[in-house]
């Protein structure tokens, strides 16, 4: 390691892999790993070290000497600043390769489980504009580039509507366009910002917790429906109505226009009242002829096309014959439960968000599915002996927990029940591997299929079939 401008520096290093959170990986001469965000395997670079730890370095590309063959031209003008799509500079086929590798590595290294032949990862048909939900933040302190900070020019308007800069809770990137959600997403965001500025509406200041406008959420569905939700901080009826009425007139295609007045320190709306300004308080998504009602607080997989693939894989892995009791743990709005219901005797769904369970029940009615039961509550509290006695012992369990994976008490309960099969769907193969390790003495992994729900990012979904030994 040499020093340049008094900063530690590695020259001419080759990036050999992609790993933790999508960062490029190289080796320092002493064998320590160097993590390099935005470097692509195959690049030869000079690295400016920014963090030095006992076991590793973290740095940034100072010079790109030799760009990798695996590189691709990023589609978005905000690439490199916005935290959203860190792999836009890697060709899609290589993104898929590194995702599959990460899943297998996690299962083998963390889970220490034996893997069957893993089917190749299922890529996404759409590699841009695949998301059905985006959340943007308003801020009166737009993130400034180094050039802007050092220039003498008047920086003008500092208001922004966009994404948080990675690692900076109070700085927002002012988005010009985003390649993740189909129009009219960009058109709505731009119109809201321009109208708010023209009418001198205050953008939120996170430090002082002041301002009118806080967040904007846009949901689109494959049926063409649109939900827009604006989160206000100040409770100012005249301004609020002005903005909502503008949106209603300008975008008559909005199916559901809603708002929240949130004066607590954080932006989450789960504990807030959502008020419907016009249209319905929900939109519909459709899959294989099934209708799913989605309200502002409901979880719904963000890539609808790939969600369909994910559910088909889950159903194939479960391989139901029609006489089984199936549990769908972490059911959200009961989508998987209903997707498989016609192939099972009975499906029981459990989910923490009561509104999602209300939707799940309503969805089952729309879809005239009668063999499903849904329960709201924290999984580790609900999923107990009494629950199993009253719903029947499951033959098959499908579990799709959040990123943290399953609570150890839930894993313990699964082991106690000893269902014949468990289909474990996960958006975090590291926590999935941890949970699989706890079940390895009793369950053998017989199928693994990774699914790419999030192109241009390192995130990956993974489905594992466990069969009782």
Ligand X SMILES: C[S@@+](CC[C@H](N)C(=O)[O-])C[C@H]1O[C@@H](n2cnc3c(N)ncnc32)[C@H](O)[C@@H]1O
Binding residues: 301, 330, 351, 400
CB of 307 to ligand X, least distance (A): 7
Under rule CB under 6 A, which residues in 426-445 are in contact with ligand X?
A: 427
CB of 225 to ligand X, least distance (A): 17
The window from 238-246, 251-259, 294-302, 436-444 that contacts ligand X (CB under 6 A) reads: 294-302
76 is catalytic: no
**Closer to ligand X at the Cβ: 43 or 435?**
435
Q: Are 94 and 42 spatial neighbours (Cβ–Cβ below 8 Å)?
A: no
Q: Which of 76, 82, 178, 427 is catalytic?
A: 427
> Does 288 engage in binding with ligand X (CB under 6 A)?
no
> Does 72 engage in binding with ligand X (CB under 6 A)?
no
**Closer to ligand X at the Cβ: 45 or 411?**
411
Q: List binding-site positions for S-adenosyl-L-methionine.
A: 301, 330, 351, 400
CB of 377 to ligand X, least distance (A): 7
> Does 402 engage in binding with ligand X (CB under 6 A)?
yes
> Does 378 engage in binding with ligand X (CB under 6 A)?
yes
Which residue minimizes CB distance to ligand X? 332
> Does 406 engage in binding with ligand X (CB under 6 A)?
no
Task: State the residue for tokens 């002493």.
Answer: 30
CB of 351 to ligand X, least distance (A): 5
Q: How many residues bind ligand X (CB under 6 A)?
A: 18
Q: Spell out, one character per residue from 304 to 333, where the chain touches ligand X: x when CB under 6 A holds, - when not.
A: --------------------------xxx-
Helices 429-439, 408-417: axis angle to 10 degrees equals 40
**Closer to ligand X at the Cβ: 57 or 300?**
300
**Closer to ligand X at the Cβ: 116 or 402?**
402
**Closer to ligand X at the Cβ: 59 or 401?**
401
The window from 14-22, 83-91, 340-348, 396-404 that contacts ligand X (CB under 6 A) reads: 396-404
> Does 462 engage in binding with ligand X (CB under 6 A)?
no
CB of 81 to ligand X, least distance (A): 28
**Closer to ligand X at the Cβ: 225 or 328?**
328
CB of 301 to ligand X, least distance (A): 5
> Does 456 engage in binding with ligand X (CB under 6 A)?
no
- Which residues carry out catalysis? 427
- Residues making contact with ligand X (CB under 6 A): 299-301, 330-332, 335-336, 351-353, 356, 378-379, 400-402, 427
């Amino acid at each position: 390691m040499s020093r340049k401008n008094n900063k530690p520096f590695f020259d001419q290093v080759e990036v050999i892999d992609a790993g933790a959170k999508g960062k490029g990986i190289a080796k320092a001469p002493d064998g320590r790993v160097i993590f390099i965000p935005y470097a692509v395997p195959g690049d030869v670079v000079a690295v400016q070290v920014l963090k030095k730890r006992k076991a590793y370095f973290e740095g940034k590309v100072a010079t790109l000497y030799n760009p990798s063959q695996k590189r691709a031209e990023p589609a978005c003008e905000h690439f490199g600043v916005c935290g959203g799509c860190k792999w836009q500079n890697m060709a899609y086929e290589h993104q898929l390769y590194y995702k599959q590798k990460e899943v297998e590595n996690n299962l083998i290294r963390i889970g220490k489980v034996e893997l069957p032949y893993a089917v190749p990862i299922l890529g996404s048909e759409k590699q841009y504009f695949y998301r059905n939900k985006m959340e943007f933040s308003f801020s009166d302190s737009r993130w400034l580039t180094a050039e802007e900070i050092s220039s003498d020019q008047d920086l003008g308007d500092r208001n922004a509507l966009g994404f948080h800069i990675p690692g900076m809770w109070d700085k927002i990137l002012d988005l010009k366009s985003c390649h993740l959600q189909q129009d009219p997403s960009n058109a709505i965001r731009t119109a809201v910002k321009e109208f708010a500025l023209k009418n001198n509406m205050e953008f939120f200041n996170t430090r002082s917790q002041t301002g009118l406008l806080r967040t904007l959420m846009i949901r689109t569905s494959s049926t063409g429906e649109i939900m827009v939700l604006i989160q206000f901080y100040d409770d100012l009826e005249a301004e609020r109505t002005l903005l909502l009425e503008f949106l209603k007139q300008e975008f008559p295609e909005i199916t559901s226009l809603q708002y929240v007045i949130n004066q607590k320190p954080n932006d989450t709306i789960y504990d807030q009242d959502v008020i419907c300004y016009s249209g319905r308080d929900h939109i519909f998504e459709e899959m294989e002829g099934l209708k799913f009602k989605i309200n502002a607080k409901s979880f719904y997989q963000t890539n609808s096309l790939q969600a369909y693939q994910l559910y088909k894989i889950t159903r194939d892995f479960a391989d139901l014959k029609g006489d089984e009791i199936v549990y769908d743990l972490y059911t959200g709005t009961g989508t998987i439960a209903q997707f498989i219901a016609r192939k099972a005797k009975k499906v029981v769904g459990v989910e923490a968000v009561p509104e999602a369970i209300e939707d799940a029940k309503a969805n089952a009615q729309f879809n005239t599915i009668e063999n499903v039961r849904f329960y709201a509550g924290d999984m580790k509290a609900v999923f107990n002996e009494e629950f199993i006695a009253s719903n029947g012992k499951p033959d098959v369990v499908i579990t799709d927990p959040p990123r943290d994976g399953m609570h150890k008490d839930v894993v313990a309960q699964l082991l106690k029940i000893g269902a014949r099969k468990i289909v474990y769907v996960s958006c975090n193969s590291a926590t999935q591997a941890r949970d699989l390790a706890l079940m390895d003495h009793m369950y053998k992994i017989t199928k693994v299929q990774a699914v790419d729900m999030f192109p241009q990012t390192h995130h990956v979904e993974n489905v594992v079939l466990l069969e009782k030994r």
